[in-house]
Structure 1
């Protein structure tokens, strides 16, 4: 059976609930969902618009990946959760796609939800693979 490692990344945002930033098993990395929380101001307000919220989520995830010596190129799948699906979908997509080269984007699911922690409009999680 593969060893399971639980990772907390010092530079990543303080968790808003009881979870690890990432869990690793057999070379697979499962990140916890990241909301647009500023790591330097954990109790500060969420950015106002979906573009900045999406950027913040992605920057938080990059921080988690870098803490494990990975990059976005190692990501195989993502899930995006939106509380204002129809209002935010296009702008979120335009922002999200800027993080991945055309032809090298991970598989993705995008889901409309009724609420997220700290009233965030977006949350994103990832699955990555080492080496």
Structure 2
């Protein structure tokens, strides 16, 4: 197993690695909608927060030599599920080709770090 911390990546909000890799699979820790330069400062609204999370995921993936095309599964956590689900879906969908959407789970939760509206974690697979 390899435990990865990505230089210049998002600042961890708890004791974890950005990603853990085993047998060709890469498990990416849930990312928050702040930036490495402004930890704890969140953009307003679910669209902006979804974009910020996706950009943080891109940073982590790039640090591993991977991209969004390597995502097998994503899990999305929303604190305001009913209110934010449709707009989050619209923003999230824009990151993937229509015929290449990862498997996904999306759940409503009672709270996230920094009082964020969204968090996304990933399971990826390295190309063989």
Interval of TM-score (by shorter of Structure 1 and Structure 2): over 0.9
CA distance in 2, matches of 1:40, 1:84: 26
Aligned partner of residue 33 in structure 1, secondary structure: strand
2:83 alignment counterpart: 87
Q: If the length of structure 2 is used for normalisation, what is the TM-score?
A: 0.97
Aligned partner of residue 32 in structure 1, secondary structure: strand
Number of corresponding residues: 127
**CA-CA distance at 1:52 after TM superposition:** 0.4
Q: Which ranges in structure 1 are unaligned for 5 or more consecutive residues?
A: none
1:68 alignment counterpart: 64
Aligned partner of residue 59 in structure 1, secondary structure: helix
1:38 alignment counterpart: 35
**CA-CA distance at 1:48 after TM superposition:** 1.1
- Alignment of 1:52 with 2:48, yes or no, is yes
Following TM superposition, the consecutive aligned residue runs of length 4 or more in structure 1 with deviations greater than 2 angstroms are none
1:11 alignment counterpart: 8
- Alignment of 1:105 with 2:98, yes or no, is no
Across the aligned residues of Structure 1 and Structure 2, the Cα RMSD in angstroms comes to 0.6
**CA-CA distance at 1:37 after TM superposition:** 1.2
**CA-CA distance at 1:41 after TM superposition:** 1.2
**CA-CA distance at 1:10 after TM superposition:** 1.0
Q: If the length of structure 1 is used for normalisation, what is the TM-score?
A: 0.95
Q: Which ranges in structure 2 are unaligned for 5 or more consecutive residues?
A: none
**CA-CA distance at 1:120 after TM superposition:** 0.3
**CA-CA distance at 1:12 after TM superposition:** 1.1
